[in-house]
Structure 1
């Protein structure tokens, strides 16, 4: 194809196994992605083979769009923060969420903080939660769709008895019981491009505040620790993104089945 030409080439389309699809394609019309929790959806998504949005990689305008919308940052221009929506008794009729009150600025918040060097995102979220609340926490597996890929070099049922579903080839989404991030949001509070990654968690033992876990005196003085219902947490939290993370976590909790909870108990044993 000549440089600068916008003519689309006709290419053979690979036939995919529709048994693994969440959404079937209709060649004559646009195919919207069917999503759970539509009232909590923040972005429009579509299937990879949506005829109304199919990308022609031979079209120079595609590459111009990528260049125009690209966003590049050095490491010192970025800040990664990790936090949790920690829920006690998530499988009960009265689940409670862990919240801190920041006395310095006078607002309720979810526990979060910056990632350390050589630390994974989930580990940072659990550590920061413990340090800010005085409550030790562990990951909470919930059922939701993620764009992380299932392990490809191990059997579907591993020695750890973790089962992953099949990736939907049209959407790139795998719905499974997992401990991946429940969401993220940018926060330019420092001038850096800040990303906060949120994880679902639950208490590891006692739910009372233990200040021996709060390694910084500043945190002991700054934060008070509370357990609230979903509704009270949403009403008290200052930031909309944190309210959203609580709402989506509880939506995932309500989506859990008895067999999902049983799988979690088996995994912990």
Structure 2
């Protein structure tokens, strides 16, 4: 289904979910393990800061040897930082659709992404690249998930009224409605970073959830590079269709985790998003 032309869907009417079960939380009574939702989408083991099996003695030289032997670092010109989106149309509907491009030069379906500009934030870069590669303008989509970003110490300084979650002191994770990065892609084996095949640089991709800003149809006036207009074709697919067509496993994962977060949203969450968007529109 190309160029944003998908059938109109009916928004669901659901019962309000008054019980909130966090995606990541520590067990009660000083337990050491973390209880995690969406276990089928976990990529690594996590533990609490008070887990005795993972306590850190900073006076032990073995700790510093481990950091020295396993740490990775690079010069700026050896890094390739990209940003992209999983852009969802009608995210609170019964049939949300995800935005893909078909790259004619290499013959694969992809999520929109690209390198950040100088003096540009990662989220801004992801939204700009989405518009330039697909012709669809996008804005960030707040979803409920856990993040290791920290809530502002003084929230009264924020220009808008944003409700952040409360950080769990034992896990260091804050769960709440957020437009933080939903995940990142990198490639490594025993700290030998697999380079970008075209340049040799270490490639790191930050992913964000997004939604269309207005029309879902391709507008080539947003595609500032003539090469992109020739190279990319714009498509909207269902979750299953997108995962079937995508070539790269990391991009399939980012689609899966975004749709999992969508299904975890309550009516109250969507109403909060609506109010936040209204505030942003009034300030624009």
| TM-score normalised according to structure 1 size | 0.88
Structure 2 unaligned segments of length 5 or more: list them. 1-24, 188-194, 279-284
SS class of match (2:120): coil
Match for residue 221 of structure 1 among 209, 220, 230: 230
Measure, in 1, the Cα distance between the counterparts of 2:179 and 2:27: 25
Contact kept in structure 1, 2:26 and 2:33, CA below 8 Å: no
Contact kept in structure 2, 1:85 and 1:198, CA below 8 Å: yes
SS class of match (1:34): strand
CA-to-partner distance for each residue in 1:142-189, whole Å, 9 max, x for gaps? 00000000010124x966221112100111100010100000011532
CA-to-partner distance for each residue in 1:124-144, whole Å, 9 max, x for gaps? 000000000000000000000
CA offset at residue 97 of structure 1? 0.1
Contact kept in structure 1, 2:85 and 2:207, CA below 8 Å: yes
Q: Please tell me whether residue 51 in structure 1 is matched to residue 52 in structure 2.
A: yes
Q: Please tell me whether residue 197 in structure 1 is matched to residue 225 in structure 2.
A: no
Residue matched to 2:99: 98
Match for residue 255 of structure 2 among 242, 246, 256: 246
SS class of match (1:55): coil
How many aligned positions are there? 245
Residue matched to 2:160: 160
SS class of match (2:145): strand
Residue matched to 2:11: none
CA offset at residue 87 of structure 1? 0.1
Residue matched to 1:41: 42
CA offset at residue 217 of structure 1? 0.5
Higher relative contact order (CA 8 A, sep 6+): 2
CA offset at residue 65 of structure 1? 0.8
Larger radius of gyration between Structure 1 and Structure 2: 1
Measure, in 2, the Cα distance between the counterparts of 1:223 and 1:254: 30
| TM-score normalised according to structure 2 size | 0.84
Structure 1 unaligned segments of length 5 or more: list them. 1-20
CA-to-partner distance for each residue in 1:44-94, whole Å, 9 max, x for gaps? 111111011111111111111111111111101111000000000000000
SS class of match (1:264): helix
Instruction: Give the 5 Å matches for 1:68-79.
Output: 68-79=69-80
Residue matched to 1:173: 173
Q: Please tell me whether residue 22 in structure 1 is matched to residue 18 in structure 2.
A: no
Measure, in 1, the Cα distance between the counterparts of 2:33 and 2:200: 36
CA offset at residue 191 of structure 1? 1.6
Contact kept in structure 1, 2:146 and 2:175, CA below 8 Å: yes
Contact kept in structure 1, 2:26 and 2:48, CA below 8 Å: no
Residue matched to 1:18: none
